[in-house]
Amino acid sequence: MNRLILFILMSLSLAGNANAQVYKSQIKPQWSADNSHFWYRNDLAKGLREFVLVDLKKGNRRLAFDHSQLAMLLEEAGVNDVVAGRLPLEQLRFDLSNHLSTFRIKGTYFQYHLKTQKLTKIDKPVDAPEQPKSESNHSPVQRAEPTKPYQASRDISADGQWRAYIHEHNVYVRAVKGEEQPIQLSTDGKTDNGYQSVYWAANSNNLISFRVQPDEVGQVHLIESSPNEGGRAKLQTRRYALPGDKFTTYELNWFDLKKQLQVKPAVGLIDFRNPRLRWTPDGRFVRYQKIDRGHQRLRVIEIDMFSGATRNIIDEVSETFIWTEHVQNLGVPLVNWLKQTNEIIYLSEQDGWRHLYLIDVASGKTKKQITEGEYIVRAVDRIDEEKRQIWFRGSGRNAKQDPYFIQYYRVNFDGSGLTALTEGDGYHQIVYSPDRKFIIDSYSRVDMAPVHELRRVGNGRLVCELEQADTRELEATGWKPPEVFSAKGRDGETDIWGVIYRPRDFDPTKIYPVLEHMYAGPHSSYVPKQFSSGNRYSSMTDLGFVVVKMDGMGTANRSKAFHDVCWHNLKDAGFPDRILWHQSVAEKYKWYDTSRVGIYGGSAGGQSSTGALLFHPDFYKVAVSSCGCHDNRMDKASWNEQWMGYPVGPHYAASSNIDNAHHLRGKLMLIVGELDKNVPPESTMRLAAALIKANKDFELIVIPGGGHGDGGRYGDRRRKDFFRKHLLGLEAPDINAVP
């Protein structure tokens, strides 16, 4: 088919969806100043609208007024061209105690009695107090010190008598007044391993300083072959830490001025992240968080600045990894110091699920595991120290629901009073009333349009239903939602969840090739969970492909065991689970052709999609990989050491696409931008070199000036043509031919 005709047909097929709307998909509440009610406006089909009033005291929802009656009264009052379903009301307010509403319409102000339906013109009302703003999901988390903490000076002691400084890489102290000779406290500082950043204790006798050894991080080079302004190619060079590179190390040293004593506490070198000291308000204790390189040990260490004694307040060790890097959407750090008590709220997966723990700082013991069970804490929205409560989001607690759905909860510090604020079968988002006594709970699924409910915060119970989104106009265009599908993973017990997108003209009597959109970065989960009126894969499904996406083992937001599959083994990428998932779909649907499965992805998905043809070529037949990190030794240390560990060992080579390039079977296309500042493009080029050395056929597309992405429009066209050729048997038209 001529490419232009195909494009026009695809555009026309999408036009219906683009113009169709989903109504009542959102609620924008307007809260009353006295927290007795709120109102909102529903925009409806054909440009109609309605105003809805919710009485919080009575717990009911109703139309704010008889729209037809009000329109008639407005016309009688001289307001022309008023349509009941399109009332252009502005500055709408309600006084429910007196059954009144006020508003402006076409420049005139009116008062309307809700019971007697009497309409009265009024002067511009005195401005009411500003309406309180709705409280968002993310309320501030309290984690500061009880009082203003002791601020350690880097030079002058607290009593003002001494100045500490670094001279010739060592720590010196001298009197602020007088001509006494300076006191040298350290002698082991030297070039490239000298002392930096002196911190006084509150007693003006003790100090801390770090002896610092610089890193040995190398550089990455990019060639801009085609600058916009023309001329010669440009070289772009920057520092870029790779797994195994030597990081800056910090050796903590403790000094006693009177005794002229230097002690190196047995706390180990800090070789990952800069040290950040946290002082107690009295200045006696200093604490800091230490994550060992390789992410297998996390400690909160305390040093007594008067005696030099050290202890671990928290000391967690894992045989695999502690998720410390790129922990997304938690809302708070793993370690949260409470403001009013000597306690810590700690997030940990030590029992196999991500949960909250209450730590007693004085003893270093766990006072209480606050949350527990086979579900995880996804985010902490608020820590309320006054009421000793935590407001958080979790997933997996509702056994009959998709385990990735977000639900909202509240729990006391001692683990009691766990209250579910939401419960509907879907992915939830909430808005609090200004007094935080009610929530508007909106939830949806990819196969269910949003539902809105009013719920009571105190007990989480439903007050009243508000709206259910109206999709009739969208469905009239032929739109259908994707199908949610779950199947057992490699252990025969764990459910693997995914979605299936069918072509618009789907015919169950036909046989369809399958494309899997692939991303398995262990830092998150990726299958869509919320409703969308679009089809993110329509450009592929309109070509005649079924497109699927699933989260296999090794990705996040499930149990620790589920997540641990990625450890030292990124080549796994959940493929054993993915293949079983495909096969389960094929068992249910005869139109699902597992003999023609293609796969594509970018970045970590670029690594995995190529890995599909290297490690699972009996199942996957075609792959297009964009901007892939094809060897974890050549990608950023921060991400790769979290999952592949430290030090670098033979397991890195085992997961390398470059080292395993000779295993290639099937059809492979590689796309890379020459100016990729995320994953060095040399990773793709070295894979190409390894494939050439192994005498393998593949296609390579280099995008001049391109960054970290899939090649833009050109890459998209070439990717589609590649799949059409190798999965549908359709040659791409000669785009270079003379029209």
DSSP state of 380: E
User: Taking the chain (739 residues) in consecutive chunks of 10 residues, what is each chunk's mean pLDDT?
Assistant: 36 47 97 97 96 97 97 96 96 96 96 96 73 51 51 86 97 94 97 95 96 97 96 97 97 97 96 92 95 97 96 98 89 95 98 98 98 98 97 97 98 98 98 97 98 97 98 95 98 98 97 98 98 94 98 98 98 98 98 98 98 98 98 97 98 98 98 98 98 98 98 98 98 90
Q: Which residues are registered as beta bridge partners of 431?
A: 440
Q: What is the distance between the alpha carbons of residues 219 and 240, in angstroms, rounded to a whole number?
A: 5
Q: Residue length, the chain?
A: 739
pLDDT value at residue 145:
43
Q: In a 3-state reduction of DSSP, which class is residue 233?
A: coil
427 CB-near residues (< 8 Å, 6+ apart): 404, 405, 406, 443, 444, 445, 529, 530
Yes or no: say if 337 and 278 are a contact pair by the CB < 8 Å rule. yes
Q: Which residues are registered as beta bridge partners of 63?
A: 52
pLDDT value at residue 149:
63
Q: What is the dihedral of CA 296, 297, 298, 302, to 10 degrees?
A: -170
Yes or no: say if 198 and 208 are a contact pair by the CB < 8 Å rule. yes
Reference 123, options 142, 139, 146, 107; nearest CA is 107
Reference 483, options 346, 339, 609, 589; nearest CA is 589
Which amino acid is located at 665 in the chain? R
Helices (H), 30-171: 67-76
Q: What is the distance between the alpha carbons of residues 382 and 137, in angstroms, rounded to a whole number?
A: 9
Which amino acid is located at 555 in the chain? T
For residue 573, give both structure tokens: 């990428």
Where does the chain hold its CATH 3.40.50.1820 domain(s)?
483-728
For residue 99, give both structure tokens: 């059954």
pLDDT value at residue 148:
62
pLDDT value at residue 264:
97
pLDDT value at residue 556:
98
Yes or no: say if 526 and 518 are a contact pair by the CB < 8 Å rule. no
pLDDT value at residue 16:
41
pLDDT value at residue 605:
98
Please state which CATH class domain 1-23+134-143+327-445+448-481 belongs to: mainly beta
Level-2 CATH architecture, domain 483-728: 3-Layer(aba) Sandwich (3.40)
Three-state helix/strand/coil letters over 340-353:
CCCEEEEEECCCCC
Q: What is the distance between the alpha carbons of residues 390 and 640, in angstroms, rounded to a whole number?
A: 33
The Cα-based distances of 1 to 543, 546, 732 in angstroms read 12, 20, 9
DSSP state of 84: G
Yes or no: say if 110 and 119 are a contact pair by the CB < 8 Å rule. yes
Query: Strands, DSSP E only, in 318-426?
Result: 335-337, 343-348, 355-360, 365-369, 376-384, 389-395, 407-412, 419-420
Reference 194, options 237, 253, 147; nearest CA is 253
Q: What angle do CA 178, 179, 183 make, to 5 degrees?
A: 105
Reference 458, options 439, 434, 430, 431; nearest CA is 439
Q: What is the distance between the alpha carbons of residues 127 and 107, in angstroms, rounded to a whole number?
A: 16
| Angle, in degrees to the nearest 10, between helices 575-588 and 604-615 | 70
Q: In a 3-state reduction of DSSP, which class is residue 578?
A: helix
Within 10 Å of residue 549's Cβ, how many Cβ atoms? 22
Where does the chain hold its CATH 2.140.10.30 domain(s)?
1-23+134-143+327-445+448-481
